[in-house]
Amino acid sequence: MASRLRFGDDDFLRCRFAISPLWETQEAVRTLRRPDRHAYQAPWLRRIRDAAASVDLSPLWLLMPRRGHSPDWLGAPPLGPAATFEEEITAVRASDPEAAREDTARALACTPGALHSPRGRAWLADPVRMVRELADAMEAAWQALIAPDWPRLRALLEADVAFHSRRLAEVGLGTLLPELDDRLSWDGRTLALALHVEYARDLDGQGLVLMPSVFSWPDVITGFDPPWQPTLVYPARGIAGLWSEPGARAPEALARLLGRNRARVLAALDEPASTGALAHRLGLAASSVSSHLTVLRDAGLLTARRYGHQVLYERTPLGLALTGSA
């Protein structure tokens, strides 16, 4: 069985990358109840244990069956390439109550007893209240679980988008799509994902949103129903090193040439990163990192490009050669 997304001629021109703090919040909540997702998240799980215990996540967990439907309205595809959580939660609060009721009933039916539980019955009887309660729960989860680490998470997700955008320019969409995960296959018109359920959708000129995720790992997710834009969620690159503490040891010879901290900044750029992300990773002041980046860029060792509100730095071929990464 598989999930199949069928492309028309116009869909090839309307594919885009996006990042969603709302989605990461939803999947972080799900990860707390999914031991199979804990391998790369153990440091994060230890750090947020007390914060998670202080928030009532049970309303959200009720709508997260291990197999089956989760409400699209509560974790919808992102509004734009770099939407803020505030923008996304505002859209959740503005959801049509009757559409949300129908979507929620479908999710409740996937968990034995949930549809006729006191909470399930109350939600379906008063969908306006349901939308408000679930939006409040999602916002509380964001503040407790994701907001403190969002700069680090966003930097990783933006680096993934930068990498795959470059690959798209190099090899085209047909080659890129199967590279996102080895469970994906492409036959020139249809993107297929091996799953335990059968699902098919024509993109109908809407194109496809490609969205890297930290907390969805190891899952690849499709299946958003109309009116939501078709979306493919895939594990972001670099998750294994996401929660590592400051490091990035530079080769001794490079440190003698450039100075130790400047060499550490250059060595840390295995993936494109922003000034803030590098400062956090290396345990240096942002002003110091910014100064080092300027010198390295002026020397032709780095390039910089803007992605949304961030400037991402990456090594040039000369920078790669100096760090031994070429």
Place of tokens 């390039």: 303
Q: What letter does residue 249 receive in the DSSP assignment? A: P
Q: Which of 190, 219, 239 is the last residue of a domain?
A: 239
| Residues 305 and 159 occupy one common structural domain | no
Query: Residue 158 in contact with residue 272, Cβ under 8 Å?
Result: yes
| Residues 304 and 156 occupy one common structural domain | no
**Distance spanning both ends of the chain, measured CA to CA:** 41
pLDDT of 250 reads 66
> Domain holding 314: CATH number?
1.10.10.10
Pair of tokens at residue 305 = 């490009």
pLDDT digits (tens, 9 = 90+) for 226-260: 888 899 999 998 887 788 665 556 678 888 888 88
pLDDT of 246 reads 52
pLDDT of 140 reads 97
| Residues 96 and 145 occupy one common structural domain | yes
For residue 83, which of 166, 154, 160, 167 has the smallest C-alpha distance?
A: 154
Other residues' Cβ atoms within 10 Å of the Cβ of residue 121: 12
| Residues 111 and 131 occupy one common structural domain | yes
| Residues 309 and 188 occupy one common structural domain | no
Place of tokens 């990461």: 24
pLDDT digits (tens, 9 = 90+) for 172-207: 998 999 999 989 999 989 999 887 778 888 998 999
Place of tokens 């907390």: 215
| Residues 156 and 70 occupy one common structural domain | yes
| Residues 157 and 179 occupy one common structural domain | yes
The H or E element that residue 288 is part of is: helix 286-298
**Exposed, middle or buried, 165 (CB in 10 Å: 0-12/13-18/19+)?**
middle
Cα 233 from Cα 5, distance rounded (Å): 13
Conformation bin of residue 271: beta by default, left when phi > 0, alpha when psi is -120 to 50: beta
Q: Which residues on adjacent β-strands are paired with residue 5?
A: 191, 201
| Residues 264 and 215 occupy one common structural domain | no
pLDDT of 321 reads 79
Place of tokens 């199967």: 178
Q: Which of 192, 222, 239 is the last residue of a domain?
A: 239
pLDDT of 238 reads 82
The H or E element that residue 151 is part of is: helix 150-171
Place of tokens 């707390």: 32
When divided into structural domains, the chain yields a total of 2
Cα 265 from Cα 276, distance rounded (Å): 12
Q: Which of 239, 266, 300 is the last residue of a domain?
A: 239
| Residues 157 and 41 occupy one common structural domain | yes
| Residues 214 and 259 occupy one common structural domain | no
| Residues 266 and 217 occupy one common structural domain | no
Report, as ranges of residue numbers, the positions in the chain whose pLDDT lies below 70: 244-250, 307-309, 325-326
* Single pTM value for the model: 0.78
Query: Residue 19 in contact with residue 214, Cβ under 8 Å?
Result: no
For residue 279, which of 244, 303, 319, 246 has the smallest C-alpha distance?
A: 246
pLDDT of 91 reads 95
Range of the domain at 198: 2-239
| Residues 40 and 65 occupy one common structural domain | yes
